[in-house]
């Protein structure tokens, strides 16, 4: 059994602009750095064996304050994993919704169908992304069995975890609430060659009390609008 404390990275300016960040290396903004400090203070008092993060800057910067606290106690250096990167959106990485609609209207209409095998040009399909994420988590669970890991990653990665644990389809819009710097906990049970994910807690933001409201990327609303508005 391996316990994963999953943290979505702190806020970036592109989060506020509702841009598709994908694998563009966007740093945290001032709010994101404050969120990272609050995550560190919250988790430092619990049992944590090591910190793992996506190798993208926004995740590394979110993980850094907690990793520094653990290092002062003689804990191990943080691990960075490319397997925990956000989904690649190819040609639309870095674009806002309005920009995608204007520059790639057909691709946008396909995207908001939320089909598991669809990918923007040069990007990853949800199915391929899911496979990458689950393989990365399986490798972590095998390498650190019995430990508690803090894993700092991205909204899309957490969506793949939630869908797997809840046995939800990869088709369809995101259902899980995944706030910046939210803390979720899952258990990974490894038995023979099988792995099972069990959610213990999800999207706790008690440590962010008093901070500004977060930007919300609502896939369910986008899908609803897509159904009501005929294709151009």
58 is in an annotated binding site: yes
90 is in an annotated binding site: no
11 is in an annotated binding site: yes
Instruction: State the Cα–Cα distance between residues 136 and 138, nearest whole angstrom.
Output: 5
The answer to whether the beta carbons of residues 94 and 24 sit under 8 Å apart is yes
Instruction: State the Cα–Cα distance between residues 33 and 39, nearest whole angstrom.
Output: 10
Residue 170: which of 217, 198, 132, 224 has the closest Cα? 132
Residue 160: which of 178, 142, 145, 147 has the closest Cα? 178
15 is in an annotated binding site: yes
Instruction: State the Cα–Cα distance between residues 232 and 226, nearest whole angstrom.
Output: 11
Return the active site residues. 9, 86
13 is in an annotated binding site: yes
9 is in an annotated binding site: yes
147 is in an annotated binding site: no
Q: Which residue has the tokens 């990272």?
A: 36
Binding site: residue ranges? 8-15, 58
Binding site for substrate: residue ranges? 8-15, 58
């Amino acid at each position: 059994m391996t316990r994963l404390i999953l943290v979505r990275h702190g806020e970036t300016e592109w989060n506020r602009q509702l841009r598709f960040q994908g694998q563009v290396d966007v740093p945290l903004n001032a709010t994101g750095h404050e969120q990272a400090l609050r995550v560190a203070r919250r988790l430092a008092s619990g049992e944590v064996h090591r910190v793992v993060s996506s190798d993208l800057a926004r995740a590394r910067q979110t993980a850094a304050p907690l990793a520094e606290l653990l290092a002062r106690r003689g804990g191990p250096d943080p691990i960075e994993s490319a397997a925990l990167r956000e989904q690649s959106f190819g040609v639309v990485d870095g674009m806002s919704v309005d920009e995608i609609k204007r520059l790639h209207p057909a691709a946008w209409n396909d995207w908001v169908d939320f089909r598991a095998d669809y990918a923007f040009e040069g990007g990853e399909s949800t199915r391929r992304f899911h496979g990458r994420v689950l393989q990365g988590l399986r490798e972590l669970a095998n390498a650190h069995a019995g430990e508690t890991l803090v894993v700092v990653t991205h909204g899309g990665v957490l969506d793949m975890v939630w869908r797997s644990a809840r046995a939800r389809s990869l088709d369809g819009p995101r259902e899980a609430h995944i706030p910046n710097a939210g803390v979720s906990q899952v258990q990974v049970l490894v038995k023979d060659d099988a792995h099972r994910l069990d959610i213990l807690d999800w999207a706790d933001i008690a440590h962010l009390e008093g901070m500004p409201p977060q930007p919300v990327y609502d896939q369910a609303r986008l899908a609803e609008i897509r159904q009501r508005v005929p294709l151009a």
